[in-house]
Amino acid sequence: MKYIDEFRDPVLAGKIFSEIKSVTTGNWVIMEVCGGQTHALIKNGIDQLLPDKIELVHGPGCPVCVTPLELIDKALQIASIPDVIFTSFGDMLRVPGSKKDLFIIKSEGGDVRIVYSPLDAVRLARENLDKKVVFFGVGLETTAPLTAMAVHQARIEGLKNFYLLASHVLVPPAIMALLGSPNNRVQAYLAAGHVCTVMGWEQYIPISEKYKVPIVVTGFEPVDLLEGILMVVRQLESGRHEVENQYARVVKREGNRPAQELINKVFMISDRKWRGIGTIPRSGLVLRPEYAAYDAESAFGINDLSIEEPTECISGLVLQGLKKPYECKAFGLKCTPQTPLGATMVSAEGACAAYYAYGRYNDGAAK
């Protein structure tokens, strides 16, 4: 298909590989923030084909992974309430809470439904006025405008039976938290193309300047990823640190203004806990007071839960690029995609799950 096939062309990919090889002289650690890119890099074997001097580490931009266990447990509690229709994207259904997952709740009689678009949840509310319809909205800035539109639309239609359980995280505060850490190893970033589609890339300029890191907005196809890597390596080799846009066919400097406007209308920024990392200041979105009536957490009076994570899990270190998944003792043994212990194994986009699925079991295999 147009705009996919050209960017998967192996001959073109080969050319970019050669170019990366010829420009690389130093040792560089590059982080891709987005879980979708992590998955694409590992699946296409790009990590293994790159020169040894380039190390890819995988960042925290997997919204399913970083959704706190407490919030998954809240979702499970709400989904078990008899007159509730609980909706979410398909990948949330098998994410385990501390005891169950949404599939189990469904098999126990809970009305749990997968929706393709948040607007499908609004339609369900419209068609089932005697039920309470909850949408579990999980995502980065890419997904926030979709959830915002659902809440906005429910309000316009005057629906009183639509609720949002929101877990929206923001990428720039997370990058800053990682770069500001004394343990930071990352020298350059591939910024997530679809996050920037919504938000634009201006907000990365101060980060690039402050921490002197190259940041390249990058797409998701093999050619995009390789070109993004080439662009950061060129910057690193020449000592530059700028924000560049590899994904210009989709991402504009200012992003998508109508989407940003609706995000700002419906949500406000708040501190946010990231599973595996901890609380990052001003890194999440919560409903504004004007939209409080749609807030599922307060509507269903679910109290704050507090849950202990398994101590052997090192996903926090994996998410910061300090450890590789195969360095975890539980990897592939106690912890698999069927029985995940931590954040980075719960979603196919998590680094541990990608390493497991594509056979990166040890150091030798990873390079």
Partner 1 sequence: MCLAIPGKVIEIFGESGLKMGKIDYSGTVNTACLEYVPEAKVGEYVIVHAGFAISIIDEEEAKKTLELWDEMAEKAAGKGLDIFGMSLGENRDKEK
d(CA 230, CA 5): 20
Q: Is 193 in the site for ligand SF4 (CB under 6 A)?
A: no
Compare residues 204 and 355 and give the one whose CB is closer to ligand SF4: 355
Compare residues 147 and 315 and give the one whose CB is closer to ligand SF4: 315
- Residues 212-231: x where in contact with partner 1 by CB under 8 A, - otherwise, as a string: --------x-x----x----
d(CA 331, CA 334): 7
132-139 vs 188-192, strand pairing mode:
unpaired
| Contact (CB, 8 A) for 193 and 219 | yes
- Residues 311-350: x where in contact with ligand SF4 by CB under 6 A, - otherwise, as a string: -xxxx--x------x--x-xx---x----xxx-xx-----
Q: Which does 328 bind (CB under 5 to 8 A by kind): ligand SF4, partner 1, none?
A: ligand SF4
Compare residues 222 and 340 and give the one whose CB is closer to ligand SF4: 340
Among 82, 158, 182, 258, binds partner 1 (CB under 8 A): 258
d(CA 120, CA 238): 49
Q: Is 95 in the site for ligand SF4 (CB under 6 A)?
A: no
Q: Which does 250 bind (CB under 5 to 8 A by kind): partner 1, ligand SF4, none?
A: partner 1
Residues 345-364 interacting with partner 1 (rule: CB under 8 A): 347, 349
d(CA 346, CA 360): 17
Q: Which does 352 bind (CB under 5 to 8 A by kind): partner 1, ligand SF4, none?
A: ligand SF4
Beta bridge partners of 32: 58, 190
Q: Is 156 in the site for partner 1 (CB under 8 A)?
A: yes
Q: Could you tell me which stretch among 72-80, 95-103, 127-135, 241-249 binds partner 1 (CB under 8 A)?
A: 241-249
Among 62, 84, 165, 213, binds partner 1 (CB under 8 A): 62
Q: Which does 342 bind (CB under 5 to 8 A by kind): partner 1, ligand SF4, none?
A: ligand SF4
Q: Is 16 in the site for partner 1 (CB under 8 A)?
A: yes
278-287 vs 162-169, strand pairing mode:
antiparallel
Among 60, 145, 228, 316, binds partner 1 (CB under 8 A): 145
d(CA 186, CA 164): 35
Q: Is 263 in the site for ligand SF4 (CB under 6 A)?
A: no
d(CA 178, CA 191): 14
Q: Is 66 in the site for ligand SF4 (CB under 6 A)?
A: no
d(CA 128, CA 85): 9
Q: Which two tokens stand for residue 185?
A: 């190893």
- Neighbour count for residue 235 (Cβ, 10 Å): 22
Among 31, 64, 328, 354, binds partner 1 (CB under 8 A): 64
Q: Which does 335 bind (CB under 5 to 8 A by kind): partner 1, ligand SF4, none?
A: ligand SF4
Among 19, 70, 242, 295, binds partner 1 (CB under 8 A): 19
**Which residues form the interface with partner 1 (CB under 8 A)?**
1-4, 6, 8, 10-19, 21, 34-36, 43-46, 49, 61-64, 89, 91, 116-120, 123, 126, 138-140, 142-143, 145-146, 149, 153, 156-157, 192, 194-195, 197-198, 220, 222, 227, 246, 248-252, 256, 258-259, 347, 349
**Which residues form the interface with ligand SF4 (CB under 6 A)?**
312-315, 318, 325, 328, 330-331, 335, 340-342, 344-345, 352
